[in-house]
A and B are shown apart, each in its own frame.
Chain A
Amino acid sequence: MTLKECYEKMEANYEEVIGRLRSERLVQKFALKFLDDPSYRLLITSMEEKNYEEAFRAAHTIKGVCQNLGFTRLGRSSSALTEALRGGWSQEADSLLEQTKADYQSTVTPLQALRDSQQ
């Protein structure tokens, strides 16, 4: 699987990120590192512990990373979740969290596949 295919599967913007980071090698390096990023775990545990301030920050970080890496789909849902958590917990937060979880899975699965194909 190529990086471009992976990005297509993730519904991410390959052209944009290449335009910005200018090197496929770099994009791949960072994209794969996303698998080890702790923010998602932090988001899930914070939400479970109802620590919405921490959850907000985690969602915010995911949003920032997604923007940096051009992960459009996950970026969109995490951004919505960020807004829902900006003033503490709000009604939409839970459904948006589910959406974020789903988008995270659909982002991580192709990335793992990419990593596996590289090894």
Chain B
Amino acid sequence: MKKTSNPTRFLTLSLIAVVVLCIVIFGFLAFYMDNHNKETINEVGAIYMKGMSERITMHFDTTIDYNLSQLQGIVEAYPADSLLPQEKLREQLIYDAKARGFVYLAFYSQEGELEPLFGPDLQLSDPEPFLDALNREENRIAVASTASGNRMMALGVSAEYDMTGDRTCTALVAALPIEYIQKILSLDSTEHENSLVYCHVIRRDGSFVIRSGDAFRESYFERIRALFEGVNEIEAEQHVADLERAMNAGENYTNILNMDGERRHLYCTPLPYSNWYLVTVLPFGKLDLIVNQLSSQWIGMVLGGCAIVLCALLLVFAKYFAITRQQITDLKVMKAEAEQASKAKSEFLSNMSHDIRTPMNAIVGMTAIATANLQNPQQVQNCLRKISLSSKHLLGLINDVLDMSKIESGKLTLSMDLLSLREVMDSIVNIVQPQVRAKNQQFDVAVHNILAENVLCDGVRLNQVLINLLSNAVKFTPDGGSIHIALYQEPAPQGDDYIRSHIIVKDNGIGMAPEFQKKIFESFVREDRTRVQKTEGTGLGMAITKYIIDMMGGTIQLKSAVGEGTEFHVILDLEKADTPELEMILPNWRMLVVDDDEILCQSTAASLKEIGINADWTLDGESAIRMVERQHQMRDDYHIILLDWKLPGMDGIQTARELRRRCGEDVPILLISAYDWGEIETQAREAGISGFISKPLFKSTLFYGLRQFAGNGSDSVPTPEAVPPQEQVDLSGRHVLLAEDNDLNWEIAEELLAQLGLVLDRAENGQICTDMFLHSTVGYYDAILMDVRMPVMTGIQATEAIRALSRPDAKEIPIIAMTADAFAEDVQRCLDCGMNAHVAKPIDVDMVARLLEKCIRARGKAGEAAYSG
């Protein structure tokens, strides 16, 4: 049992390993992809931010450049040394500045004093660098605010105009509303809600020049510190330090920060015309959200896939596991069965050796006694009788064993042939009668609803089955018991070509225990010997019976109870033989059928009706007498009365005697019985019974039994013709090729067959036979008679060669095997290789003639069918 747990453990372990492997691989994939997503976003962010910042910077540059050049334009249009009077010049400057959209214009002194030409008073936010640059004659911008707090963007261009108080200014300063710049830089986030990006403009010390979004502190650095406060202050300081270093170095700075619970991409770049820096911030919030959604979808899909793969794996494993378990169980069962079979076989062998030895001993012993008493014929005769009995018994045993070994090696074959069920039933009734009589048992045969008497079946094997069932019934039924066999038919499900035949063999004997019923059809089994010690046999009979029925495609069922009896029910679907229906008509008689079996009465009446006879029936002798008497008084006597022998109350003999006494000798009274007529003939004749019809009562049985009572001669009743005259075949002049290697056999065959008027040609072996057929004109030979064992080429090979020829008659010429091998297997082999029929040696002229007629007629029909079709 240790072995069985090993595959289970292996399976479980490997399943776990595969599951773990799956989870690891898929987990790694999910993790890797997620990480990779972030990196990709960062990269995308960096590229995007750089482009964005460059664009904004460029835009800023262009805008400032443009405004500066406007201002420069004004300065150049009105140079300080122009001849215009001071007042006029100032007016012109104001006019031009207004026309170019400036909201403020002032002269800027070298000391940093503003002298406004128009617009509100302005206070520069960070005047020193502005003044320094202008004094160096560079153009510059700055932020300024009015007294009311409105912020402005101031632009300065070097110019030397006269200021009030005899001073000369160092620059002309114009201003634009700060909103203008904000708009240009898209810094006003309120107007661009959809834009992800927002910007600040800061100075080098971190103070805001322009701020947007939610920034409210004065310094960007403070803002960063505040945002990181309590979260990661070190990182904030690091970031500020890095930013300052980059600003000092005049480099671009890019970084990703975690702020307000989301990642933000930060990009810092210096702006021209100022010492300002543009800080562009891209919060990854929305992007992250989308990408995270994507990646969680992705992970979901991966996990889903993983789950499906795992489920599939589990299923496969479970299935495989179940199959393995099933196989193990099957193996165990098979092993047990094999052991059981082998045990049964060895038991059987030991039984058999005993069973065979018993009659063998009798034979040996009786032979010795007979030898010792040669002078005493009485004694010798007695011994011989016993020897004959024992040898018959021994033969039975050996036949069973041989059959069984044939079955076990699969060599048992059926030879299907035309079979009359009536003949089968008649013959088995004859065989069983002595056994029944010996045990003084009641025996009855019932046949009803017969739709087809002639069928195709292996008669020998069917007989074997029926005799086996019946002799078992006789054997296992005590003296005085009753045995009943019934045959009836119904249409078969396979169609009109078949007929379903039911055979029921029933007894009221010792019956069988349910356990034994289960194994009765197994080989080598016999019921426990305490009850059936006296019974002889191999115990193979039922197994052989079952096997034969199986081969015939039928079924056998068993009903039995200990002490109550046994009933076997055999169902066979037999092929109907296409024999011409005999025209069986008798005069329109009135008949009476008396039998205690109601079904038999009805069925017999129906059969009689088909023959043209009207029949009444009744179930006992007393009522039969009343009916006959009534008809007699009405002067309308029954023509014939059928009387069962065994009737309840008054039996058939008594009834007949009474009928004769009352109604005279005119009406023929026939006894119907399954018993041997010989036993009761004398008694019956004395009682006035005119004749006997043996059960079972087939239609043909009735016809032939009753025909003799029809009129005075055969002229009033037509003799049935099995073969209509026009179909009879005249064999004289027919050409037959006979393959036979032995001269003597050939001469005998020629002598015998020549009597039929056949013209015979001889072929010495299969090869010559094939050649002769090949070189004959088509249709010259009507048939080939083929020996099987021949030198050079056997009959089987020759038949195959002839059938393979392409001549039109190669397929249809009748080939009949003639051989000394008469086993069913040999016959089957002949039929398998393409022969039409088989006839055993020694040659029986009538048999050969019949076969030839049949084959030639069949060929003629096939030919006609071929021509008409």
Contacts and interface: CB of A to CB of B under 8 A. Distances in A.
Contact of A65 (B745, B752, B789): B745
A60 B818 CA distance: 13
B744 interface: yes
Contacts of A60: 789, 820
A68 B745 contact: yes
A99 interface: no
Nearest to A82: B820
A20 B842 contact: yes
Interface residues of A, number: 21
Interface in A40-93: 54, 57, 60-61, 63-65, 67-70, 79, 82
A6 B789 CA distance: 30
B742 A57 contact: no
A67 B842 contact: yes
Nearest to A62: B742
Contacts of A82: 820
A68 B843 contact: yes
**Which of A34, A37, A60, A69 has most B Cβ within 10 Å?**
A60
Given A57-B791, A60-B789, A65 B747 contact: no
A51 B751 CA distance: 33
B743 interface: yes
A63 B744 contact: no
A102 interface: no
Contacts of B751: 21, 26, 30
Contacts of B858: none
A21 B752 CA distance: 7
Interface residues of B, number: 20
Nearest to B749: A68
Contacts of A21: 748, 751-752
A33 interface: yes
B747 A64 contact: no
A39 interface: yes
A63 B747 contact: no
A37 B748 CA distance: 13
Nearest to A68: B842
B267 to A, nearest CB: 102
B572 to A, nearest CB: 33
Interface in A3-47: 20-21, 26, 30, 33-34, 37, 39
A57 B788 CA distance: 10
28 contacts: A20-B843, A20-B845, A21-B751, A21-B752, A30-B744, A30-B747, A30-B748, A30-B751, A33-B743, A33-B747, A37-B742, A39-B742, A54-B791, A57-B789, A57-B791, A60-B820, A63-B820, A64-B745, A64-B789, A64-B841, A65-B742, A65-B745, A67-B820, A68-B748, A68-B843, A69-B744, A69-B748, A69-B842
Interface of B: 741-745, 747-748, 751-752, 787, 789-791, 819-820, 841-845
Given A65-B742, A79-B820, 19 more contacts: A20-B842, A20-B843, A20-B844, A30-B744, A30-B748, A37-B742, A39-B742, A54-B791, A60-B789, A61-B741, A64-B745, A64-B789, A64-B819, A64-B820, A67-B841, A68-B745, A68-B748, A68-B842, A68-B843
